[in-house]
């Protein structure tokens, strides 16, 4: 059985790590390179860096950050934010990123998923999906959750797999930053619909939430930010708990 992965997420704004609740009310969480090194040393399986206010200017900054991070860590890391072309991805991978995450650009230009998978391989392509429930239906949102669409979460998940995505990073906007647990019913449904790994994001508040999302949510990996950044959950202790719950993890 494949081991379940624990993935700290570093949201980057103006070169700093930040964290909010329901995608707003951001506060500083430290230097991203220092945090990355710490997580790599304390048992994180992978890292995700998301430039949450990416523009052409900031993406150049992000490429520089990737280079600095790659020199400091020895675990895989994914980079996202403002990526809209094969050229953007080429720069980030050459600077040391292992994977890229695309979100709004994939919805606006679904062919981008095909193009990236063809050029770099599906294993490099993570499609991030931000969604919230509207009148009982999960709808995809764009631009850091600010722009609602009529796209159904599960239809989109199936499409991105068909187009060549290697993984899906699903963030429940309803759960993000609330620390009330992951959106396990939606995660389980998604995991049954697709054959690629699904990363759970949004809602981690205590160690039990990770066990729950691996068992009830059928997630392949769990991503969290503030509980790790602000030392509310220790990754080595979390992995020991998961092991006690008979969930396979890399110790």
Active-site positions?
A: 11, 130
> In whole angstroms, what is the distance from residue 190 CA to residue 183 CA?
11
Question: Nearest-5° angle of CA 29, CA 205, CA 167?
Answer: 80
Instruction: Match 């999960």 to its residue by tokens.
Output: 138
Q: Which 8-state DSSP code applies to residue 133?
A: E
Instruction: Match 């309803």 to its residue by tokens.
Output: 174
Q: Which 8-state DSSP code applies to residue 89?
A: H
- DSSP H helix total and E strand total for the chain: 10, 12
- Whether the CB-CB separation of 36 and 10 falls below 8 Å is answered with yes
Tokens of 131: 């969604």
3-state secondary structure of 8: strand
- Whether the CB-CB separation of 157 and 168 falls below 8 Å is answered with yes
> In whole angstroms, what is the distance from residue 144 CA to residue 14 CA?
15
> In whole angstroms, what is the distance from residue 139 CA to residue 182 CA?
17
């Amino acid at each position: 059985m494949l081991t379940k992965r624990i993935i700290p997420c570093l949201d980057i704004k103006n070169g700093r790590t930040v964290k909010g609740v329901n995608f707003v009310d951001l506060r500083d969480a430290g230097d991203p390179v220092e945090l990355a090194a710490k997580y790599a040393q304390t048992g994180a399986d992978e890292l995700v860096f998301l430039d949450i206010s990416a523009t052409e200017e900031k993406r150049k900054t992000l490429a520089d950050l990737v280079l600095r991070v790659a020199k400091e860590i020895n675990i895989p890391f994914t980079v996202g934010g403002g990526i809209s072309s094969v050229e953007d991805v080429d720069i980030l991978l050459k600077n040391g990123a292992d994977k890229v995450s695309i979100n709004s650009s994939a919805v606006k230009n679904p062919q981008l998923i095909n193009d990236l998978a063809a050029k770099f391989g599906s294993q490099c392509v993570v499609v991030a999906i931000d969604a919230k429930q509207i009148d009982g239906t999960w709808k995809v949102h764009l631009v850091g959750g600010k722009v609602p669409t009529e796209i159904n979460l599960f239809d989109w998940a199936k499409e991105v797999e068909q187009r060549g995505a290697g993984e899906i990073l699903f963030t429940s906007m309803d759960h993000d930053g609330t620390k009330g647990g992951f959106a396990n019913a939606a995660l389980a449904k998604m995991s049954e619909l697709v054959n690629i790994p699904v990363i759970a994001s949004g809602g981690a508040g205590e160690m039990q939430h990770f066990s729950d999302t691996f068992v009830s949510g059928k997630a392949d990996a769990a991503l969290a930010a503030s509980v790790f950044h602000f030392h509310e959950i220790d990754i080595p202790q979390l992995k020991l708990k998961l092991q006690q719950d008979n969930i396979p993890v890399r110790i």
